[in-house]
A and B are shown apart, each in its own frame.
Chain A
Amino acid sequence: GAVVSQHPSWVICKSGTSVKIECRSLDFQATTMFWYRQFPKQSLMLMATSNEGSKATYEQGVEKDKFLINHASLTLSTLTVTSAHPEDSSFYICSARDPRDPGGNEQYFGPGTRLTVT
């Protein structure tokens, strides 16, 4: 199956700094990627849909100026948490659709990035 990677797998940053998380599709080109946030023992909350070559579509309540998404190529989307605060500490997961999938319906998930803001 399709493989999606994330980097870093975990990161600790100080309050007020920015941190960038990368999501890569390793063996396919993904025109669409998704960014999720997950708190402990909770479900995945979709933050935004990232479209290659265009602006991301943010879900209601997600601050687009705080969570900057850039989908500059067909294999890479980045999420930058700007001016991070302790409440931004969470597990961030990306996923991508593989257009080669005959059903075109599955999202392949990255392993996630644990962000801790001190």
Chain B
Amino acid sequence: AQTVTQSQPEMSVQEAETVTLSCTYDTSESDYYLFWYKQPPSRQMILVIRQEAYKQQNATENRFSVNFQKAAKSFSLKISDSQLGDAAMYFCAYRTDYGGATNKLIFGTGTLLAVQP
């Protein structure tokens, strides 16, 4: 079974600085998807970024980028120029590419990010 591990329960960053959140996963599959979700205090889950395992190029969305290391099964999220609005719980998630529409997301335990003004 696949597992997702986030080893940093809490992180803190100064406004305008850069922070990296770690995520590792375990799988025997070769095709899958990885996601970072943000959950602010409103608790609405927001997709930050996604990565297809077959793509070697790291995904980027504005200030958010990932470092995807397939062999190491590592998927870290880098937030550049941190803003106060980035303060939230961040979840790393895995989804298999097999099984069709009912594929479920497997979430890590989350990292609570605080942004200091």
Contacts and interface: CB of A to CB of B under 8 A. Distances in A.
Interface residues of A, number: 25
Given A43-B91, A57-B102, A112 B44 contact: yes
A31 B101 contact: yes
Contacts of A28: none
A95 interface: yes
Category for how many chain B residues contact A = 20 to 34
- B interface, by DSSP: helix, strand, loop or mixed? strand
A27 interface: no
B47 A106 contact: yes
Interface stretch (B21-29, B78-86, B105-113): B105-113
Given A46-B104, A57-B102, A91 B43 contact: yes
Contact of A32 (B43, B44, B101): B101
A44 B107 contact: yes
Interface of A: 31-32, 34, 38, 41-44, 46, 49, 51, 57, 91, 93, 95, 97, 99, 103-107, 109, 111-112
